[in-house]
Structures are given as C-alpha cells and as structure tokens.
Amino acid sequence: MDDIERDRYRQATLLAALRNGQFESDGIIWEAEDFLVEGHREKRKQKAMADKLKSFKTSSTFGQSLDKAEVPDLFTDLGKAQGKHRVN
C-alpha cells in the first residue's frame, strides 16, 4: 500500500468511526470500504435484508409465531434499503 492509498484508507476509517459515533448506522455499522468501494454498503444492506427475510421465513416455517411488532420493522428496513428514508 503506497502513501496515497494509506491516507485514503485512514480518512475512510475516520469517516466510518464518525458515522458510527453519531449512530447513523441504519442497523449496519459503517466500514472504511463503504467510502472506498462504490456500492459496498448497499451490497451489505441487501445481504442484511436477505438474512432477515430468511430468518423470518425460517421462524414462520417452524411454526414460531412472531410478534406483530417485529413484522413492520422488517418492511421498514426494506424501505430504507430502497432509499425511502424517514425524515426526523
């Protein structure tokens, strides 16, 4: 890693730490690669959503009932992954 790449990685790490410190994670912590690799964060969000959906399907398959409060969060997170953020 040359000096320029090292500086970029250091800056990206600092940005990630600042975002995580301000609780701007949307459930997924920020990583340096989110700032360095285009589309990295979106892929991680999609994987997290797929994991939640798989977990939801698995728990439903085994007859485990979910509270009604858990289901809207799943769809709320899906809306966030599609870029529909709630305004505070």
CA-to-CA dists, residue 49 to 21, 36, 41, angstroms = 23, 22, 12
**Residue span of the structural domain in which 15 resides:** 1-37
Taking each helix axis from N to C end, the angle separating 40-61 and 70-81, rounded to the nearest 10 degrees, works out to 150
Share of the chain above pLDDT 90, in %: 25
> What is the rounded distance in angstroms from the CA atom of residue 42 to the CA atom of residue 45?
5
Task: State whether 22 and 45 are in the same domain.
Answer: no
Query: Max Cα separation, the chain?
Result: 56
Lowest mean pLDDT among 29-43, 44-58, 69-83: 69-83
Q: Which residue has the tokens 């398959």?
A: 61
If pLDDT is split at 50, 70 and 90, which confidence band does 77 have? low
How many domains does one find in the chain? 2
Task: State whether 45 and 71 are in the same domain.
Answer: yes
pLDDT at 27: 80
The pTM of this model reads 0.55
Task: State whether 45 and 79 are in the same domain.
Answer: yes
Q: Is 35 strand, coil or helix?
A: helix
Instruction: Write the pLDDT tens digit of every residue in 8-39.
Output: 999 999 999 998 888 777 788 899 998 999 88
